[in-house]
Amino acid sequence: MKTFLVIGLGRFGAAVATELCVLGNEVLAMDVHEDLVQAAAPHVTHAVTADARDPEVLRALAVRNFDCAVVAVGGDIGNSALITLNLKELGVNKVVCKAASHTHRKVLEKIGADRVVFPEHEMGNKLAHALSSSHVLNFIELSDEASIVEVPVPAMWVGKTIREIDVRNAYGVNVIALRRGEKQKFVIAPGGDATLAEQDVIVVLGLDKNINAIQKL
């Protein structure tokens, strides 16, 4: 079981705190607004009304003992930056922050945030990929340039093995899994001898430009 501190209990923060607790983790949720704390309290391990901008408050909560802190205060760059700085200076091992803009993300990264998420941007990217191609079944963004995508097997690959197609060298992607046949049985790390069928779905990892090229085959 891991321990998490979630600061900021708006829609994003409350959702993260609740889901972390559902997954079996210990979660301390905090916010300056008592009504938000009361709403979150039944769904987390502990909930407190406190101001994370005050380092003494964080020190009293022994924040350095948490495995991860999530700063979900996304609306105010100054507040989230100050909270992030406090957490890092107090020795929190991992700090994950929500950003409201690209500028906000850069600020948080500069002051030491271990990971910065931009939910609106990331969800927008995922939706755009889903809408732009009827062939994309599922999409996970790894970076600004790389993704993991589920794609139906291109017609020209049907009946051939992964080795015959020479997927990695010819197309610049790796086939990391297959969903096979009508029952969509999942096969992790298929070997080069795996023959692709019309009803198969390939899970590929690679640069977006290379994945896009496969979708057009």
Q: Which residue shows structure tokens 């300056």?
A: 32
Q: State pLDDT tens for residues 96-125.
A: 999 988 888 899 999 999 999 887 666 666
Are the CB atoms for 4 and 69 separated by under 8 Å?
yes
Task: Find where tokens 């101001």 sit.
Answer: 51
Lowest-pLDDT choice from 87-91, 95-99, 124-128: 124-128
Q: 103 CB contacts (<8 Å, ≥6 apart)?
A: 77
Query: What is the rounded average pLDDT of the residues 174-192?
Result: 84
The more confident residue out of 180 and 120 is 180
Q: Rounded distance, CA 116 to CA 21, Å?
A: 21
CA distance 14 to 29: 8
Q: Please, what is the average pLDDT of the chain?
A: 88
Closest by alpha carbon to 80, among 60, 49, 47, 103?
103
* Of 139 and 149, more confident: 149
Of 89-103, 132-146, 149-163, minimum mean pLDDT range: 132-146
Residue range 146-163: mean pLDDT, rounded: 89
Q: How far apart are CA 214 and CA 217, in angstroms?
A: 5
4-23 mean pLDDT: 94
